[in-house]
A and B are shown apart, each in its own frame.
Chain A
Amino acid sequence: MSLLEVDDIHTYYGESHILEGVSLEVDAGEVVALLGRNGVGKTTTMRSILQLTPPVEGSVIFDGEELVGRDAYEVAEAGIGWIPEERRMFTRLNVEENIRAAVPDGDGVPAALETAYETFPILRDRAGQRAGDLSGGQQQMLAIARGLVGDNDLLLVDEPSEGLAPQIVTDVGRALMDAAEEIPILLVEQKLGLALDLADRFYVMDHGQIIDEGETANVSTEDERLRRYLSA
């Protein structure tokens, strides 16, 4: 049994049928990339797993337990962390408070702060600064740190390199690679090179469906099939 088993989920935004029977799996110890053009349903797949946009049909089994029908906070309690596309800082809270908020049980706060500051030392210097005043790169570091410090058994990472300067992308990629050694990741990433570097396997989505999958070891950024799927 896989750590995460998404089976034939159908998700709607109002009348719009966004996910039309998506199925995928993430095993313990692996990084899985979810590839596809903008608007094909990658983020909605993550939101459906997290029960932020609950699927109307299908099931999401995590560590042997059904998540469909549970509250989003219970999904987090079950051990799924989320690093969202738009970073979603609590901009009026300072850096330290953002990290504290990611440890709801409270016991692990000192260790969480240390983990975050070791991963991104700049955050230690900015601990008392409001998150809304950070640069885009620092906000992304904080978003990743927040995902790493939670007591998570799986991370859903959505477009971590979006809008970042090349040097910051390198730092973020390194942090995710380090994280991947300890925690499985489901990754949505537009930069194919970064996705293939990080992931062991990949799924390709189009029009709310999984249309292809494979091992990253067997493809490259020049792969015609992948480039066709991902081209606008």
Chain B
Amino acid sequence: MIDHLALGAIDLLTSPGDLSSVIVEGLAKASLYLMIATGLTLIFGLMDVINFAHGAFTMYGAYIAAGLMLALVTAGMGFGTVMFIFIVVLALVFVLLAALGTVLEVTLVRRLYEYPPIYQILLTFGIAITLEQFMRMIVEFRNINNGQWNFDWASPRRQTLPSELGDAELLFIQFTNLQLFEIMLGALTAVGIWAFLNKTRYGLFVRAGVEDEEMAKALGINVQRTFTIVFAIGSGIAGAAGVILMWDPLWSTSVPLALDVLLPAFVIVIVGGLGSFKGTVVASLVVGMIDALGTWAFTTGVIQFTGIDELMIFTILVVTLILRPRGLFGVEGMGDHG
């Protein structure tokens, strides 16, 4: 077994094509994980709210985007038009989910800030179940998938991706344009959040409020409003991640997507350090690379165990909790958005 793994590792390291494929796939996966986990870490970092409804927001983003793409994209459209519609849908989903997040924060979550975390966990868990069952009612009980409307949620992906995006090669590195697209969106997310936190006044208020909420208030910062904005942005990013997942062949537009997303998001947030955006970026890279390595090992026959990706990801979680319980960049009692 050990010999087999060692031979596989040597094979990978001596094959530039395979190695570069794993790295590109790892970066693409890391980008997806980053988009999934960023909203969660933002909301926890400022508000100490562990938002179990996060995955449901992503699932809603995927369904809304798929529905809009189904309605708007027709067979004769060119690639540029489809991409334009996709970008508009992405922005629209962000706004819609940010609005949903705002409503939930103002009407429900805000009431529980003064209570122990278990109250917020129970509340957001309840919101998650409610949102999931509501969507299940729509797509299953109303039989939208196979009934009178015969919606095919995967068709937006088939219409445009991955075949229409095609493959490309740079130097000796081969990649699909979907991977490139995901990496670009991941980089955009990282740079955008970094710029928001470090280059805007609201980002400054967020970081001040994270560290000392009372002092921030005493300086005239409306921390409550800042909480609402962060919750909205976090929810919007979660929804936008759903739009990307709708397109990625490894994921799917389905109700279980909520849970499929929530688990790796929690792993990344915990491994990176609760509330640390820098930690989330690094943990996304680590988990993405290991996920890609697991996929390579399975597809090349080095390991014949279908759950190798999950096994490796959760092994990282366990090892991190044993060796560094606060995560890679976590600090006790406060978030760090540096």
B222 contacts A73, C-beta separation under 8 Å: yes
Given A92-B211, A106-B201, A101-B224 contact (CB < 8 Å)? no
Question: Does B224 lie within 8 Å of A93, measured CB to CB?
Answer: no
Which residue of chain B has the shortest Cβ distance to A83 in the bound complex? Answer: B218
Q: How far is the CA of A146 from the CA of B212 in the complex (A)?
A: 15
Indicate which residue in A71, A90, A104 contacts B211 across the interface (CB closer than 8 Å): A90
Question: B207 — nearest CB in chain A belongs to which residue?
Answer: A93
Q: Does B92 contact A (CB under 8 A)?
A: no
Evaluate whether A104 and B217 lie within 8 angstroms (CB atoms) in the complex, with A90-B211, A93-B207 already known. Answer: no
In the complex, how many residues of chain B place their beta carbon closer than 8 angstroms to a beta carbon of chain A? Answer: 21
B216 at the interface (CB under 8 A from A): yes
Q: Is A88 at the interface (CB under 8 A from chain B)? A: yes
CA distance A121 to B237 in the complex (A): 42
Do B217 and A52 touch across chains, with their CB atoms under 8 A apart? yes
CA distance A88 to B204 in the complex (A): 16
Residue of A nearest to B331 (CB): A92
By a CB distance below 8 angstroms, the chain A residues around B211 are 90-93
Q: Tell whether, in the assembled complex, residue B220 and residue A77 are in contact, meaning their CB atoms are under 8 Å apart.
A: yes
CA distance A50 to B334 in the complex (A): 24
Q: Does B208 contact A (CB under 8 A)?
A: yes
Report which of B201, B204, B218, B224 forms a contact with A82, defined as CB distance below 8 A.
B218
Bitwise, B213-229 to A at CB < 8 A (1) or not (0) is: 01111111111100000
- Interchain CB contact under 8 A, B218 and A101: no
The answer to whether residues A76 and B204 also contact, given A52-B214, A88-B215, A91-B211 and a CB cut-off of 8 A, is: no
> Which A residues from 73 to 127 make CB contacts under 8 A with B?
73, 75-77, 82, 84, 88, 90-93, 97, 100-102, 104, 106
Known: A90-B212, A106-B201. A71 touches B217 (CB 8 A): yes
- In this complex, what residue of A is CB-closest to B221? A104
Residues of chain A at interface, number, CB under 8 A: 23
Chain B residues closer than 8 Å to A76, beta-carbon distance: 217-220
CB neighbours of B338 from chain A (8 A): 92
Within 8 A of B (CB), among A21-72: 50, 52, 71-72
B175 at interface by CB-CB < 8 Å: no
Q: Is A150 an interface residue (CB 8 A)?
A: yes
> Across the two chains, which residue of chain B brings its CB closest to A106?
B201
Task: Name A71's contact: one of B201, B207, B215, B224 (CB within 8 Å).
Answer: B224
Given contacts A90-B215, A92-B336, whether A104 and B207 have CB atoms under 8 Å apart is: no
Query: Which parts of B213-267 form the interface with A (CB within 8 Å)?
Result: 214-224
Residue of A nearest to B210 (CB): A92
Say how far A197's CB is from chain B's closest CB, in angstroms: 26
User: What is the distance, in angstroms, from A65's C-beta to the closest C-beta of chain B?
Assistant: 15
- Chain B residues proximal to chain A, CB less than 8 Å: 201, 204-205, 207-208, 211-212, 214-224, 334, 336, 338
Known A72-B217, A76-B220, A104-B219; 8 more pairs at CB < 8 Å: A50-B218, A72-B218, A82-B218, A90-B211, A90-B212, A93-B204, A101-B219, A102-B220
Can you give 22 A-B contacts (C-beta < 8 A)? A52-B214, A52-B217, A72-B214, A73-B222, A73-B223, A76-B217, A76-B218, A76-B219, A76-B220, A77-B220, A88-B212, A88-B215, A90-B211, A92-B336, A93-B208, A97-B207, A97-B208, A100-B204, A101-B208, A101-B216, A101-B219, A101-B221
